[in-house]
Amino acid sequence: MRGDPKHRTRFLLSFLILGCHVQVVSASDEVRGLLLSALGAMAAPDRSGAPDLRYRIHDAAEGAGFVLGRDGCPDREADDLDDLLFQFEKDVVLELQRRRSDLFFLHSAVLEWRGKAVLLAADSGSGKSTTAWGLLHHGFRYLSDELAPIDPYAMVVWPYPHALCLKERPAAPYPLPRETLDLGRTLHVPPSALPSPAPIADPVPLGALFFVRHRPELESPKLRRMDPAEAGVRLYVVALNALAHPNRGLDAALRIAAGIPCFEVWTTGLPASCVTIGAAAAEALGEPGESHRSRP
């Protein structure tokens, strides 16, 4: 029984995300556990003064679902924990784009290899999170599975280490850990349970960019190098806040594409795809012929 939230102890969670203080007040143990699993890597001590973003979450009046509110905005309903987490993170990311308009946000996973960031950009459902999950078993480290906040002048990317989100269980040999949070429609692996070392907290220099497309009908993965003009156009398509930047974001997209090696990769079969991407990343980052030793 959830009970009446008016008669329950309220808790406060505080997160520091891209320099923005995000505060959440709720009375639900379910919500507390959910947010700590999903965003615990960005948890921070509460600060004095007003937060940049303040949310309130409570049970729906009928006892099914939740109500999510943010200061200055109308409340919205969420059907279940899966929907609540989706709506909460979506709102946070949109607000981050407004408050950190100096950053060029891409819909992309971000991993680190030997001090450089490797981006896996793709449309939703193209397999970037699954590919990122596999690559974490091959020596890569985790920054994000879907959001790349890039400083296009310093050419660095900031981490957004929320729980890695998958829509399906990955094939062998990459089983999910027991700490995985199964919300029904989505699976979330907390950063503390990832196979790679601890997530990275500081910005990482850009190293290479892969545009991922899943092609299960292929016998083996395919990879090709892209020229900066083509890569810049493709990168612009996956930008989330291009219009917040000079020249409608075109300059930022082209600067990024021209500054790092860019590839298109058609993935098929997770182990083989990880080996293909890992070898290309190693060569692009100045390690010719080196493949990843940390194979499952």
pLDDT single digits (tens) 46-80: 888 899 999 999 999 877 899 999 999 999 999 99
Distance from first CA to last CA of the chain, Å, rounded?
43
- Would you say residue 289 lies in a domain? no
Q: What is the mean pLDDT of the chain?
A: 91
In a domain, 294, yes or no: no
- Encoding tokens for residue 279? 């070898």
177 lies in some domain: yes
Q: What is the mean pLDDT of residues 202-227?
A: 96
Structural domain including 267 reads 104-284
pTM of the model as a whole: 0.91
Lowest mean pLDDT among 16-25, 60-69, 284-293: 284-293
12 pLDDT higher than 60:
yes
Residues 132-153 have a mean pLDDT of: 96
Domain assignment present for 28: yes
Q: What is the pLDDT of residue 9?
A: 57
* Per-residue pLDDT, 287: 62
Q: Which residue has the tokens 């400083």?
A: 151
pLDDT at 124: 77
Instruction: With a cut of 90, say whether residue 290 has pLDDT above it.
Output: no
Structure tokens at 66: 């939740």
Strand 204-214 and strand 262-267: the pairing is parallel
Which CATH number is 218's domain given?
3.90.228.20
Give me 31's structure tokens. Answer: 């919500």
DSSP H or E stretch at residue 70: strand 66-70
Q: Are residues 72 and 133 in the same domain?
A: no
Q: Which of 171, 207, 170, 209 is nearest to 189 (CA)?
A: 170
In a domain, 292, yes or no: no
User: Which residue is listed with tokens 């399906």?
Assistant: 168
